[in-house]
Amino acid sequence: VYSKRIQEIIKTAAKDLDIDIKEGVYAQFTGPNYETPAEIRMARTWGADAVGMSTACEAMAARHMGVEIGGISCITNMAAGMSKEELNHKEVQETADRVAKQFKTLITGIITRIGE
């Protein structure tokens, strides 16, 4: 699904902008609820590094329509059972708000490099 060319552009933009990114396997669950500890154990068994409620289906649909795809996800919280804290939307929103400017900078950097 993901374009090697777009992946390289993402990595280059992040490096040039001094933005630390990680690569890994993303598993998508349907939501809209947080994953259970059992689902997290299952995803880990499958080899997932992160889980969420979007990205994969959208990427597959866009690729099916001929769009060149690169995937980026902002990991906003620890999964169920990975910390003693109870999951809550406030934590997710606070993390998203905290990294929004940097995320926008990265996306802008990627877009400007795509046409080069």
Dihedral angle sign, alpha carbons of residues 97, 99, 101, 106: negative
User: Which amino acid type is present at position 6?
Assistant: I
Check residue 86 and give its pLDDT: 75
- Give whole-number Cα distances, 20 to 14, 69, 85, 106, in Å: 7, 20, 25, 10
Examine the residue annotation and report whether 35 is marked as an active-site residue of this protein. yes
Pull the structure tokens for residue 1.
């699904």
Burial label, 35 (beta-carbon count in 10 A; 0-12, 13-18, 19+) = buried
Phi, psi of 2 (to 5 degrees): -90, 135
User: Which amino acid type is present at position 85?
Assistant: E
- Residues 6+ positions from 9 with CB-CB distance below 8 Å: 70, 110, 113, 114
Per-residue pLDDT tens digits of the chain, which is 116 residues long: 999 999 999 999 999 999 999 999 999 988 788 888 888 889 999 999 988 888 888 999 999 999 999 989 888 767 666 667 777 788 888 888 998 999 999 999 999 999 87
Q: What is the 3-state secondary structure (H, E, C) of 45-62?
A: HHCCCEEECCCHHHHHHH
Catalytic one among 8, 23, 35, 85? 35
